[in-house]
Structure 1
Amino acid sequence: MRKIISEFRLYLCNHIISHIPSHSIRLFYYRKIMNFKIGKGSTICMNCKFDAAKGLEIGLDSVINSGCRIDTRGNLKIGNNVSISEEVIILTADHDELFDHAQERNKEVVIEDYVWIGTRAMVLPGLHIKYGAVVAASATITKDVESCNVVAGIPAKFIKMRTNNFNYSARYRRLFQ
């Protein structure tokens, strides 16, 4: 019975709640029903899909834009003033392909403060994107990204350093988003 309730809660989240054009209603559901820890000023835009209830922590003034797939089975920690663009995929679980009964492996993903992740980027399980890093659009992150590094490509490679004197808010809230 517990499994049925959990799956129904997730179904409502992904197919009904995520389509409601009200931040307040969505955030209420995410905080109270999905048990996500979401900091003040943070936003999860419409049409985001989640793989599990619980397992998500978001700091202050961060944004997850529309159409993202967020896997929280292995836990996802997002810092303050993080900007995650549209259609980003963040995975926290995979399968061990070497065995016949490919067991699920859950691996936490950590995204520190002031990180930008570009449109359609993919973050694989168990990775750490450190303070101030930038992930270019469509990049695939296969290893940790160091502080203030700008990375791009498939797999993502170092492009350049970003200055680290950050003093901005990533708070982003559009009406009907």
Structure 2
Amino acid sequence: MKNLLLTFTCNLKSYIGNFLLYFNNYILSYIPLHTLRKCFYINFLGLEIGEGSSIFMGAWFDSRKNFRIGKNSIINQKCRLDNRGRLTIGDNVSISAEVCILTADHDLQSPLFTGRCRAVTIEDYVFVGTRAIVLPGVTLGKGCAVAAGAVVTKDVEPFTIVGGVPAKHISNRNENLNYECHYPRSFF
């Protein structure tokens, strides 16, 4: 009886967690009230969101927890934020619309197609262009920029501009960055 109760409790917690993700990804993320969504992210999904940071409508999370965004950072609309491995975003980061950040994949060489998680870290003052893809295990160094549509397969050095598939060095960025990505709007 004790094992049955334990199994039931574990399954119930799993169902509730899955329902919260479903509710967020299909319903709540399309409600145009940022304050309401932010409250849900923090209190029900366990996400860490810094002061002045915004997550626009349509953001998709793959997990509860394992997500931290610093101060004055922006995630624009319709981004996929795979936080199964761990997704850490710094201060004053601008992530454009429809960006896909992955922290989990499968080992293509594994006979069992084994799943694996590898954290993604995005340091302060990073810019990620529209529809870019960041793959598992990547660190985007301070002040770097990723061009629209780029596929980032390996770490990007600080203050470097990369683009293409796979992303390659294009240029360097000004190292004297001192801006805030703070867009205080109610409906987004």
Q: Is the 8 A contact 2:138 2:154 kept in 1?
A: yes
Q: Which has the larger radius of gyration?
A: 2
Whether 1:169 and 2:152 are equivalent positions in the alignment is: no
Taking only aligned residues, the RMSD between alpha carbons, in angstroms, comes to 0.8
Aligned partner of 1:144 among 155, 159, 182 = 155
Whether 1:9 and 2:20 are equivalent positions in the alignment is: yes
- AA of the residue aligned to 1:47: G
How many angstroms apart in 2 are the aligned matches of 1:83 and 1:137? 12
Aligned partner of 1:64 among 45, 69, 75 = 75
Q: Is the 8 A contact 2:35 2:186 kept in 1?
A: no
Structure having the higher helix fraction is 2
Length-normalised TM-score, structure 2:
0.92
Task: Report the 3-state secondary structure (helix = DSSP H, G, I; strand = E; otherwise coil) of the residue aligned with 1:110.
Answer: strand
Question: Sequence identity of aligned pairs in percent?
Answer: 49
Moved over 4 A (4+): none
What is the aligned residue count? 177
1:28-177 equivalences in 2 (<5 Å): 28-177=39-188
- Write out per-residue CA displacement over residues 11-47 of structure 1, whole angstroms, 9 at most, x where no aligned residue: 0110111011011000000001000000000000001
How many angstroms apart in 1 are the aligned matches of 2:178 and 2:62? 33
- AA of the residue aligned to 2:51: K
How far is 1:171 from its partner? 1.2
How far is 1:98 from its partner? 1.8
Task: Report the 3-state secondary structure (helix = DSSP H, G, I; strand = E; otherwise coil) of the residue aligned with 2:18.
Answer: helix
Structure 2 unaligned residues grouped into runs of 5+:
1-11
- Write out per-residue CA displacement over residues 141-160 of structure 1, whole angstroms, 9 at most, x where no aligned residue: 00100000000000000001
Task: Report the 3-state secondary structure (helix = DSSP H, G, I; strand = E; otherwise coil) of the residue aligned with 2:142.
Answer: coil
Length-normalised TM-score, structure 1:
0.98
